[in-house]
């Protein structure tokens, strides 16, 4: 028996959940789980197509467990690739890719270090060339929604900044029919979001953390400035309540054993400074086809696909 294609949405209706396609672009394995874990788990559970593109394998990350302290460079990258696969298993995401293939771009290290000058690192990559690899994914997957960092990379890491540049440029190039026609038909992404945390939420979370710190396995807490993407509340356009998927996010973060130590309701990176584990994730809508800037003044969206009428 041949199945008939499902009808498209009526005018004004959002795309059906099975037709929703979300693309996330991140710099290193673990960034996706920290920033977007509940978002990815929610949409995957709802049947949306969730695609993650990671730009490097984080070969210069600092390793937390002493028993894994021997890992460095390519060996660390290979290990972190397995951690990424485990994390995606916890989130229910089956489509996760490395920009240009494994090893195409290497971790650039922290800003200002000699590692930034390595010709093979992401910071030294030609943005248009790197964006070309992402254009191929965009035209294949045809996402309606793109999530990435702001132009500061959230906190100034060169790979995060470069991931932002590549994602934004790829979104532009993918819509241009004159660019790489051999990669398929042009595709215009309907909505682009940047990862954010409202300042009031961060302040309240750190206040609670100070009270809870004596019972946690960390001696000190981080500062609000250590949290990527903190902005004034009025810039937040969208929030995703991840209560139902908080366990999946924490499990995905735990899968990144070399990089993260989780002790709910907080976690720490290699600096051993506790910071809140956010189970509601926040975004700033920075581009929407047919309109510019914020679309819901005074009222936050609760769905990244809100207002998208077509899922072709």
Asked if residue 153 has a cis previous peptide bond (ω within 30° of 0), the answer is no
**What pLDDT does residue 81 have?**
98
Percent of the chain scoring above 70 in pLDDT: 90
User: Residues annotated in the binding site for Zn(2+), as ranges?
Assistant: 28, 31, 160
CA atoms of 134 and 282, how far apart (whole Å): 24
- pLDDT (mean) for 272-296: 84
In eight-state DSSP terms, residue 307 is T
Q: By the 8 A CB rule, do 53 and 99 touch?
A: yes
pLDDT bucket at 4, cuts 50 / 70 / 90: very low
Distance of CA 136 to the CA centre of its chain: 19
Q: Tell me, what DSSP letter sits at residue 36?
A: H
- Rounded to an integer, what distance in angstroms lies between the CA atom of residue 242 and that of residue 41? 8
Q: What is the pLDDT of residue 9?
A: 40
pLDDT value of position 2: 31
Of the pLDDT bands very low, low, confident and very high (cuts 50, 70, 90), residue 16 is low
Check pLDDT > 70 for residue 294.
no
CA 141/CA 146 separation, integer angstroms: 11
Give the pLDDT of residue 289. Answer: 87
Residues 255-283 have a mean pLDDT of 97
Q: What is the pTM of this model?
A: 0.92
- Asked if pLDDT for residue 6 goes beyond 50, the answer is no
Residues forming the annotated binding site? 28, 31, 160
- Residue 127 tokens, joined: 């943005």
Q: What is the pLDDT of residues 189-240, one digit of tens each?
A: 999 999 999 999 999 999 999 999 999 999 999 999 999 999 999 999 999 9
Q: Which positions ≥6 away from 248 have C-beta within 8 Å?
A: 37, 38, 41, 90, 91, 92
The mean per-residue pLDDT over the stretch 57-76 comes to: 97
| Helix, strand, coil fractions of the chain, as percent rounded to 5 | 40, 20, 45
- Give the model's confidence band at 15: pLDDT under 50 very low, under 70 low, under 90 confident, else very high: low
Q: How high is the mean pLDDT of the chain?
A: 92
Q: CB neighbours of 73 closer than 8 A, spacing ≥ 6? A: 59, 60
- State residue 10's pLDDT score: 41
For 138-178, what is each residue's pLDDT tens digit? 999 999 999 999 999 999 999 999 999 999 999 999 999 99
What is the CB neighbour count within 10 angstroms for residue 290? 7
Q: How far apart are CA 10 and CA 212, in angstroms?
A: 50
């Amino acid at each position: 028996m041949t199945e008939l294609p499902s009808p498209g949405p009526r005018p004004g209706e959002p795309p059906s959940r099975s037709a929703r396609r979300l693309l996330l672009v991140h710099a290193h394995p673990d960034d996706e789980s920290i920033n977007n874990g509940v978002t990815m788990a929610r949409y995957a559970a709802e049947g949306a197509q969730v695609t993650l593109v990671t730009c490097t394998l984080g070969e210069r990350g600092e390793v937390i467990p002493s028993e894994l302290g021997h890992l460095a460079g390519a060996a660390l990258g290979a290990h972190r690739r397995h951690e990424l696969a485990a994390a995606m298993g916890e989130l229910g995401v089956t489509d996760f890719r490395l920009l240009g293939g494994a090893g195409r771009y290497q971790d650039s290290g922290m800003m200002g270090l000699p590692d930034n000058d390595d010709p093979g690192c992401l910071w030294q990559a030609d943005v248009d060339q790197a964006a070309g690899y992402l254009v191929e994914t965009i035209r294949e997957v045809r996402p309606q929604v793109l999530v990435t960092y702001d132009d500061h990379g959230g906190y100034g890491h060169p790979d995060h900044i470069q991931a932002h540049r590549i994602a934004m440029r790829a979104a532009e190039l993918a819509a241009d029919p004159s660019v790489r026609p051999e990669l398929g038909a042009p595709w215009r992404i309907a909505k682009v979001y940047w990862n954010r945390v409202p300042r009031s939420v961060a302040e309240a979370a750190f206040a609670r953390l100070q009270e809870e710190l004596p019972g946690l396995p960390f001696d000190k807490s981080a500062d609000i400035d250590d949290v990527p993407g903190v902005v004034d509340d009025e810039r937040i356009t969208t929030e995703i309540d991840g209560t139902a998927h908080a366990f999946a996010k924490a499990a995905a973060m735990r899968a990144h054993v070399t990089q993260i130590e989780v002790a709910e309701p907080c976690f720490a990176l290699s600096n051993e400074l506790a910071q809140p584990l956010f189970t509601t994730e926040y975004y700033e809508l920075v581009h929407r086809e047919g309109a510019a800037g914020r679309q819901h003044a005074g009222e936050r969206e609760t769905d990244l696909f809100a207002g998208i009428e077509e899922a072709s």
